[in-house]
Amino acid sequence: MDGEKMDLLAMTLAELKQGWHVETDDYCCNYCNYRCRLLSDIQQHVADQHQGADLVHDTTRYNTLTDKQQRLFTLFAAGKRDKEIAEELQLSPSTIRHQKFTFRERAKQAKYYLATFEKTFFADSSADRLLPIPPTTEIIDDRFAITEAEYAAITKKYFKFTTGTLRLSQWPNGEKKIVAILHRIIEEVARDYRYSEAEIDQLIQPIYFDYAIVRRYLVDYGFMARTPDGTQYWRIF
């Protein structure tokens, strides 16, 4: 990754991890000048040309991992257990656990530092920041160019919170407003859980009476996925 030229502060963690970001209507590679209009194309490019966004072994000066740490991250990413890693590296399992703890602590420190930095230097920019775009969205256009200020105004207009339960007062006109309300509705959906069709309908119905249209839009706009037969639904954004 050419981190020396790229504005890393302008990118989200998700963009760094996936190896690409969005500029206007294009998907752009983080590692080279490749641009395209389809999600499937950028994903294939990153996988074929850049080893699937291998951050661990990236040569950028911002990657401060030592060779030993890179090897540990690679083994952790492969799903190997502490005992297996210890045997492979000829270390004790307690040493591996301690190293994992150290990595965790460094991640916490980095996260806290980033929050402090953003609060200090970008305190007034949140209104202009765009909402993140579901990563499986095939075509990026103006529907997804929603600032945090616009999102706040739309949700305030279309949702009622007086009963303590999220409720959509009416279905909005305009795709941009629909995307904004989907951003809010998806927050009610649990992560890492597969819903049956009846369960997802039961969750959505108190929010809006036409739960079928909400369910369809959540899938079509990349907030949720479903099995081909429509029997299971799960959150992907």
So where are the chain's domains?
Answer: 1-61, 65-123, 142-235
Range in 57-71, 110-124, 186-200 the model is least confident about: 110-124
CATH 1.10.490, applies to 65-123: no
Given this model, what pLDDT does residue 13 score?
83
Q: Is 170 exposed, middle or buried (0-12, 13-18, 19+ CB in 10 A)?
A: exposed
What is the rounded average pLDDT for all residues in the chain? 89
Q: Average the pLDDT over 151-162 and give the result.
A: 90
CATH 1.10.10, applies to 142-235: yes
Residue 178 has pLDDT above 90, yes or no: yes
Q: Is 142-235 the same fold as 65-123?
A: yes
pLDDT band at 146 (very low <50, low <70, confident <90, very high): very high
Given this model, what pLDDT does residue 172 score?
95
Given this model, what pLDDT does residue 3 score?
46
* Cα 11 to Cα 168: distance, rounded to the nearest angstrom: 32
